[in-house]
Structure 1
């Protein structure tokens, strides 16, 4: 199997689906001739033609609205929003149209569209290029929200998203685009936190939406994470010496509740880690689910480790989102605090 970066794995997924399904097409700002600001769509226009991969005006609302119309009439558009921070102009289309189309038409129409977007910090992008808006999509009934953490998962999940008959928000952690790291800034490593290295099979394969992965088995505490925070959590577990079980959620809607509850009932403790702001973040939903379903198994309160409840600080990016030290401290509190 070839070793691919996440960018190359995503590009491969798009290439496979363009070749496999004539109803798949790709468009967005600079995705055609230029190949995307992060090069995820590089050479796809050259290979598949300008009617299958093409540029759009700078109008996020227009991009998603056009994709909804295409999907209602049988196509499977994959659109790119250049940064997740720019997705809000399209939010009304996603919430009011795409998410409800199947239900309001009593199944006569569906909206099989995929909205890809780079998200999260790690590149000093500041307030307008680094946000993590996954919680606002998780709240919307009818929309799936997917966040990969490895090249293998990125390709398989993107293929599954494109094949899904419902709208999917596909958030791609920018910090993971070009290769693995050990959770401390961008120090390189060859490990992908217990996942199948960087080996990505050729051709078509799908990773089921809503199926979590056990990135590391353990017995003392469960860590729930997704995207970049899977690798940060893996570094924290290694540093702390605690025998933690690390669950990579892979998608937050649908959510693999069975995997979560099985792990927490085994360990009796839980730490939730995400990059977005803590208040009303998706970690609050995870903590509530764990409390509801695992209350009599818990040996300590559920811990949350997240970003600050402030606008994204450009100069203090590495302090803003959780690092191994903050996650390690939460792991230790879990073991020290009685229920």
Structure 2
């Protein structure tokens, strides 16, 4: 097999992997938002697919059932929560009290800023999902270790138990305002007191609760909205990017020309992809003999130009003239 053909197939494989990763993340994002808005029990596969703009067949290509997708969303939410706390605490050494206060304040600030994350971490694991609940329990234990690290207590067992109790109490304090859609700022002082009192005593805990740390703005989000893209909400995969860039340079190309140019092995796959883009208003077609001649709509052309400008030098390798197969 020639080197150019190997590169072409390797490029196609990478594009397929990117498409699949994008599809999976869009489904997880859709599950997160539907579960947060309507509750896990109402978050059916049908609603998730509708929110993601994808078919049930595609959903079951990635997940065995809705529960597996939900568990993935909960896991990602906790990953984002810990990332936010780590960002706030930073790498610089701190006094234990300062670090504990920053940890608690960052926990509450993140839950307050991202209500999808808040529902997934605090409320929805109790919806009947044993796996999601176990993820939450593990996260509570991890948060407790972060909170207690460096605290001077003679008995480590008592220290860890007190820290777990404090984290559980803080999440309980957050539950009602999360359910009511209210601000979590009123619970910052009680949460700080709850976290510190077992280790510092009531007087010090009261003083620290009266002067909570200020958490700088963080752009941590649980999971992005499922249809976001830089140029256009519909242009979210590498396959779509290469398709619209090719049609920008080669209007009136047929299915076979587009497929060969960007390394899609089966014409039927490209045909289905173009039909989806047509339904989305990105491309249009006309009959040219027995074939379809495709071109970008005005909307698709605008998005393609943005994509081209965003990724200079990354355009797919295109044939020199229509009908010439890339080698």
TM-score of the alignment, normalized to the shorter chain, above 0.5: no
Structure (1/2) with the larger helix percentage: 2
Higher relative contact order (CA 8 A, sep 6+): 2
Pair member with larger Rg: 2
TM (norm. structure 1) is: 0.27
Using the size of structure 2 for normalisation, the TM-score is 0.27
Structure holding more strand per residue: 1
